[in-house]
Amino acid sequence: MDPASLWISFFASIGTILQLSGEVVQYIKDAKGAPTKRQDLLHEIDATANVLRRFEVRAKRDDCKSALEVLNRPLEQHQDLLNKLKAKLQPAHTTLRGIVTHATWHFSENEINKMVSRMERFKSLFNHVLAMECL
């Protein structure tokens, strides 16, 4: 892939992920009956988005081409995770029952722990790549 396409793809991915993160955070906040573990999930989504914002600023300022190829697949995986969360949390616009079903928190503690763990891994990877780029 040529460098220009790589840059465009990179910034598009980060932009999409940041938008998805905001939507998922709002859906989690709106869910009723969510356990306190949802705060951990909210924190990890927000913390990962903050790392990506810092990386985006750094990439616009400096030459970070080596990081782009390293982050391509993890960014896709992170986006997939956010899309799955969004699909499960997004309110339905069809029936009252669908709206109530989606407004209810329906993640088990095990599911939340797995999602938090995945978010932590993405955040750690993004932080590590950002730190290596700063050296």
| Overall size of the chain counted in residues | 135
CB atoms within 10 A of CB 49: 24
Mapping DSSP onto H, E and C, the string for 65-79 reads: HHHHHHHHHHHHHHH
Complete DSSP assignment for the chain: --HHHHHHHHHHHHHHHHHHHHHHHHHHHH-BS--THHHHHHHHHHHHHHHHHHHHHHHHHS--HHHHHHHHHHHHHHHHHHHHHHHHHSPPSS-HHHHHHHHB----HHHHHHHHHHHHHHHHHHHHHHHHHH-
Instruction: Please give the Cα distance from 38 to 65 (Å, whole number).
Output: 35
- The owner of tokens 């329906």 is 106
Give the pLDDT of residue 134: 58
Number of domains in the chain: 1
Tens digit of each residue's pLDDT, the chain (135 residues) = 666 676 677 778 888 999 999 988 888 777 766 567 778 888 899 999 999 998 888 877 776 666 777 788 899 999 999 998 888 777 655 555 554 544 556 677 788 889 889 999 999 999 998 888 655
Nearest of 37, 49, 52, 47 to residue 114 by alpha carbon: 37
Please give the radius of gyration of the chain, using alpha carbons only, rounded to the nearest integer: 16
The structure's pTM equals 0.77
Residue 111: domain span = 3-134
Give the pLDDT of residue 96: 53
